[in-house]
Amino acid sequence: MSMINFELYKVFYWAAKTGSLTQAAKSLYITQPSVSHAIKQLEDSLGLSLFIRNSKGVALTPEGAILYSYIEQSHILITQAEKKMAELKNLDNGELRIGGSDSLFKHYLLPFIEIFHQQYPGIRLHLIHGTTPEVISYLKEGLVDLGVVRMPITDPQLEVRQGLQLQDCFIAGSRYAELNQKVLSIEELLQYPIILFSRSSRARMAITDLFQGYGYELKPEFEVGSVGLLIEFARKGLGISFVTREFVSKELEEGSLFEIKLDVQLPPAQVGMMTMRYMPLTTAASKFIELTRRA
């Protein structure tokens, strides 16, 4: 629909709504002849009569009534859209959808989420769980506004802002107390049952690649779907779990678990905030990213 047609339909809407060309002119802040001319243009363009003049003003023809049923819906939607845009601009309303893992939500984003909610209580927050590959898909499909993932991420469609640095480690419970304070080689470590996160996780990929670099194949005894299960399996003595140290700090401090020390250094991991490179951010997403940068 061209802009000139849009203006004609707007005149038509107010004439139909008020039943008066004079009232339509007042609503639109134009002259009555301008209203008459616009309606004539629209009727000529459609090849249909839209109004019948009567003693009270104008009434819709059957064709005009059908057209009005559509134009009225459009007017309502446009009015709602303008209201929504104003609310979004002022962050009085709207939503923010963030993709990531439960552990990153809990151990990294939670303080920012709390502050953001206090500052903008009208914004509904949706936290959508997923592995890094899943979050990337959510972002590209428009299901989330931003994602929080472990780096590195190499994708020309994505822009990743570096955030928190994490450190991975191996942990065990009391069943393997004899290993506490010992320094193990990779070969010695692999004599014990290993518990890893699912194959699609970035942490799993990183440790697999690291061990392959040293010439070892990592074959886990158990594969689990959450950090919570990694911690619980280790606590129960089912094996040695590979986790992010920051996610298990409470258990390490209280002594229910201990860290297995290796004779090789495990490299630190980076957490990044990921968005689509060429897509404009919503005001809410921009404010949230700004909040994390100030930390």
Q: Which residues, listed in sequence order, are joined to residue 273 by a DSSP beta bridge?
A: 148, 161
Amino acid residing at 15: A
Is the model more confident about 26 or about 154? Answer: 26
Is the model more confident about 198 or about 3? Answer: 198
pLDDT at 223 over 80: yes
pLDDT at 46 over 60: yes
Q: Distance of alpha carbon 263 from its chain centroid, rounded?
A: 40
pTM, full prediction? 0.65
Categorize the per-residue pLDDT at 164 as very low, low, confident or very high, splitting at 50, 70 and 90.
Answer: confident
**Strand 194-197 relative to strand 222-224: parallel, antiparallel, unpaired?**
parallel
pLDDT tens for each residue of 229-243: 999 999 999 999 999
Stretch 281-294: mean pLDDT, rounded? 88
Q: What is the pLDDT of residue 209?
A: 93
pLDDT at 1 over 50: no
Q: Which two tokens stand for residue 49?
A: 């009569």
pLDDT at 4 over 60: no
Share above pLDDT 70 across residues of the chain, in percent, rounded to a whole number: 98
Stretch 207-217: mean pLDDT, rounded? 94
Question: Domains, the chain, ranges and CATH?
Answer: 3-89 (1.10.10.10), 95-163+273-293 (3.40.190.10), 168-267 (3.40.190.10)
Average predicted confidence (pLDDT) for the chain: 91
Q: What is the pLDDT of residue 51?
A: 95
pLDDT tens for each residue of 141-162: 989 999 999 888 889 999 998 8
